[in-house]
Amino acid sequence: GQTGGLSVAATTTDGIRVLHPTGEIDHHTCGQLRQALNELTADRPRVVVDMSRVTFMDSSGINTLIAAYKHVTAAEGWIR
């Protein structure tokens, strides 16, 4: 869904979850990205985040990705 300039879609390719955020990732929208990442990493710790449609990202978005990376690697998975 669209909230504050960010939409997030997810697809699966060869068992790898691909997250497609579109728009701006900032302190208003990073919760939406965090929720989508948490849903993906709950049962499939192999995740690709396609950032090609992200037009802006501040430090809150970077922190969200770092937290997801730590979570996924602790579960012996990966995020790219």
Q: Please, which pLDDT band fits residue 3 given cuts at 50, 70 and 90? A: very low
Q: Which residues pair with 17 in a beta bridge?
A: 12, 47
Q: Which of 1, 61, 68 is nearest to 31 (CA)?
A: 61
Q: pTM of the full predicted structure?
A: 0.86
**Burial class of 61 by CB neighbour count within 10 A (0 to 12, 13 to 18, 19+):** buried
The encoded tokens of residue 26 equal: 């900032």
pLDDT of residue 1 exceeding 70? no
CATH class (in words) of the domain with range 6-79: alpha beta
The mean per-residue pLDDT over the stretch 19-45 comes to: 90
Rounded mean pLDDT of the chain?
91
The mean per-residue pLDDT over the stretch 22-29 comes to: 97
